[in-house]
Amino acid sequence: MEKYYEKELLEELHDIQETYGFISEEDILRISQKRDIPKAQLYGVISFYSMFHLEPTGKYIVRVCDSVSCRLNESTTLVKALKDYLKVEENETTKDKKFTLEVVECLGHCDEGPVMMVNDTYYTHLTVTKAIQILDSLE
């Protein structure tokens, strides 16, 4: 039975990403050998999930929700303002490697939109000014 209870692949990938910020080629090679999974399959798995990164990201990952309920709370304006402020498009990292901007599907705070997550922190009921203030305050 123990084999079912070794660390699940997704959990291992999360742990690597939490430590290093992304999942490197070396990590993939190591997991491939340890778990006896072809590298191509691992790439397939990692790239399937939007939260995993194969390249380094910014110090802060900014996830802005643009699904229906947030859209009804003017998330489009927020997304545009953040793109302008950070001078990046979706899934891009700022030149100083500080921020990566992601426009994501529902974050499950539909009653408090518009919503963004910066790394592990949620910010709700946002205005453009408030959102920019939050990003400004991060070192």
Partner 1 sequence: MERIFLKKDLGKNLEEYDFLGLKNALKMQPQQVINKIKESGLRGRGGAGFPTGIKWETVFSIENDTKFIICNADEGEPGTFKDRFLMENLPFKVLEGIIISGYATGSKYGYIYIRGEYVEAIKIVKKAIEKLYEKNILGENILNSDFLFDLKLVRGAGAYVCGDETSLINSIEGDRGKSRIKPPLPVFEGLYGKPTVVNNVETLAAAAEIMSYDNNPYSQMGTEKSRGTKLVSISGDVNKPGVYEVEFGKLTVKDIVQEVAGGVKGEKIGFVIPGGISTEALTEDELNVPYTYENLQKMGSNIGSGGMIVVSSQRNHLEIVKNVSDFFRDETCGTCFPCREGNKNINKIVSDIYKRGYPTSHEIEIISDIQYAVSSAARCGFGESSLNLILSIFEKFYTKKVEV
Strand partners, 100: 61, 93
Q: Is 34 a residue that touches partner 1 (CB under 8 A)?
A: no
List, in order, residues 6 or more apart from 109 with CB less than 8 Å away. 65, 115, 122, 124
Between 58 and 109, CB nearer to partner 1 = 109
Q: Is 4 a residue that touches partner 1 (CB under 8 A)?
A: yes
Q: Is 87 a residue that touches partner 1 (CB under 8 A)?
A: no
Between 56 and 108, CB nearer to partner 1 = 108
> Would you state the structure tokens that stand for residue 129, as one six-digit string?
């000014």
Binding site for partner 1 (CB under 8 A): 1, 4-5, 8-11, 13-14, 35, 37, 44-45, 48-52, 63, 66-69, 71-72, 104-113, 117, 120, 122
